[in-house]
Every structure is written in C-alpha cells, then in structure tokens.
Amino acid sequence: MKFQSEYRDPVAAQKLLQAIARTATRPWTIMEVCGGQTHTIVKYGIDELLPPQVELVHGPGCPVCVTPLELIDQAIAIAARPDVIFCSFGDMLRVPGSRTDLFATKAAGGDVRIVYSPLDCLAIAEKNPEKTIVFFAVGFETTAPANAMAVWQAKRRGIENFAVLVSHVLVPPAMTAILSSPTNRVQGFLGAGHVCSVVGYEEYEPLAQRFQIPIVVTGFEPLDLLEGIYRCVRMLEAGRIGVDNQYARAVQRSGNPGAMQLINDVFETTDRKWRGIGVIPASGFRLRPEYQAYDAQRRFQVHQLQVLESDECISGVILQGVKKPKECPAFGKTCTPEHPLGATMVSSEGACAAYYNYGRYRSSQTTNV
C-alpha cells in the first residue's frame, strides 16, 4: 500500500538495525512517549530486534490509559442520565470504571453512542433539542483541535444543548515529570509525531537543554521508529543534546498555527491528574471561562465521586519507564484485556495490552517454566 509498505520494508529495516548495532557502544535507555509507537514496537518486535545495549521503555502516551478513573466514573454517571445522549470514541466504552463501564451503561438503557468526530455531536444536538449531548473529550494535543472546533462551533451556532467532558493531557509536562523523578533512567526520547504535527517541537528544545538529553520527533511505522532510534543513539553516543525531527513528512518545528490558534481560543492549561502517575502541574487543558457553559462537569456537578484503584497494579511505574509489563505479578493472570485491573491494560495502545496482545504473555510464561 502506497505510503505504508515503503515504511515496512524488511531490507531497509535490517540495514537500520545493523546501523544501530554498529553505533551503540554503551547501554542506552530510550523512551517512546506515544502509545501508537508502543503498539508498533511490540507488534513488530522492534524492541527484541535491537542490540542488547539499546533498551526501549514505554511512556505515558496512551490517552485512554492515563484518563483518571474519576473521569470514567463521571462519564458513566452522566451517561446514565435520561436527559443525556453521551457520545465518545469507541475505545472509551469498554474502559472499566470503579463499578461498571459505558457499554454496560448503554445495555442498561443509557443513550451512549460512538461517534467518529466531536463535530458529529452538533448534528445530534440539533436533532435532539430535548436532550443534552455530551462528548467525552479525551486525548493529547492531537485531538484537541477537533474538540476545540466542536465547542467553538457550538457557541458560534448557538447550540446550547451540547457539552464536553474534558480530559486533555499534554506531553511536555509528562516528560518533565519523568525526567525529574529520582527513579528516572530515561536518557533519550522518541517524541510523539502526531502530537508534534499539531504543536511542533519548539517547546521540546528547552526541555532537551534543561535535562541535557536528545529528543527525536518520530513517526509510527516500523522504519520511522528504527530511524528515530538510530538518530537518538547517534546523538547519545556523540553527547549531542537537542531536538531532531525524523518525522519531517508530517511535522514542522512551529506546528500547525491554525490548529494551535483554535486550541488557545477555547482551552487554557490546568493541572491534571494522570491515571497511575498522579497530578502533574500545567499538564492538561480545560475550557476557558468564556466557554464554561459547555463544561459537562459544571453542568452536571459530578466532581465529587469517590474511586478505588486496584492495589495490585503497578501501571504508574510502567508509565514512567521504570518497569515493564511482564514485571507485574498480575500480568496475564488476574489482569488481561478482558478483565483489566489497571490503566495500561485497558486500551490496545497501553503497554500491558500491547505486550499481551502480541504474545509477550505467552513468552513470559515459557520463560518462567
């Protein structure tokens, strides 16, 4: 397939692997930030093809995984209301809350719908004036422009029966939190290409200087990742700090100015809780005061729900690159994609789910025998 098969060419992959092996003379630990990158790495076994001195650890870049349990419970509480049509991308529907999930809420009579764009919600709102349409606005910087556009258009078109339950998180503050941790072992980053296609990578440059690390903005196909790793290893070996852009076919240094203008018109930064990690300062978006009429949390007063996380789950340290999924005693035993106990098993982009779905569960069983 054009624009896909050329990024999965096995001969080119082999050459990049050989170049990485020739270049790496010492142990290096590199974190990929994005869940889509984790998915590709584990699916194609890239981490196992690398020379032993290059270790990949998996970062907190799966938006479904880092959405706090409180938000899931709030979504379920809103979706169960008879005066609401609750809309979401499909991957949030099976994420378990404290007691149930959105699929079960739908089965119990809640009007829960899967949409492919937040803008679909405006059409639903116009057809159902007696209901409030709530969109679950989850994601990193990548999904923020479309969510901002839905709110901006709702205000402009005078659609009042629409609201968003906002759970937007931002990558650079999470990288700062990881690099500031006393347990940090990350020496270089593969930056999330899709996020940078919106916001660019200017913000990463002071981060690289502050922590004296290389950051390589990287795409999502196997050859993107191998080239990103190769560039990162070369920078590490040369002691070069700064930001490099492997994903130049989609990312410009200053990002997408139109998308960023829209985000800044509708959202402002706020402290956000990340599931498994905790509160990270200035790490998320909330609606600006002039758009607060569209805030589902304010409209439905669902802030105070109490939640209980599994105490078996070590997803917090997995999301910070300190441990791997197979090091969790519950992995593949009491915790599976069908019965997830924690953040990183709930989405196919979560590190635990990726390890499980691509057979690392079976290989860990074999190793243990």
Residues in contact with ligand SF4 by the rule CB under 6 A: 312-315, 318, 325, 328, 330-331, 335, 340-342, 344-345, 352
Tokens 């304010």, located at residue: 298
Q: What is the closest distance, in whole angstroms, from the C-beta atom of residue 57 to ligand SF4 in the complex?
A: 14
Nearer Cβ to ligand SF4 (187/320) = 320
State in angstroms the smallest separation of the CB of 43 from ligand SF4. 18
- The least CB distance from residue 90 to ligand SF4, in Å, is 20
Pick the closer one to ligand SF4 by CB: 30 or 314: 314
Tokens of 237: 């070996």
We find the least distance from the C-beta atom of residue 284 to ligand SF4, in angstroms, to be 22
Sheet of 28-32: strand order equals 54-58, 28-32, 188-192, 214-218, 242-245
Residue 231 or 275 with smaller CB distance to ligand SF4: 275
Cβ–Cβ < 8 Å for 307, 70: yes
- Shortest distance (Å) from residue 73 CB to ligand SF4: 18
Q: Which residue is closest to ligand SF4 by CB? A: 342
Nearer to ligand SF4 by C-beta: 119 or 317? 317
Sign of the dihedral defined by the CA atoms of residues 263, 265, 267, 270, in that order: positive
Closest to ligand SF4 by CB, 293 vs 317, is 317
**Minimum CB distance to ligand SF4, residue 305 (Å):** 21
Q: Nearer to ligand SF4 by C-beta: 135 or 331?
A: 331
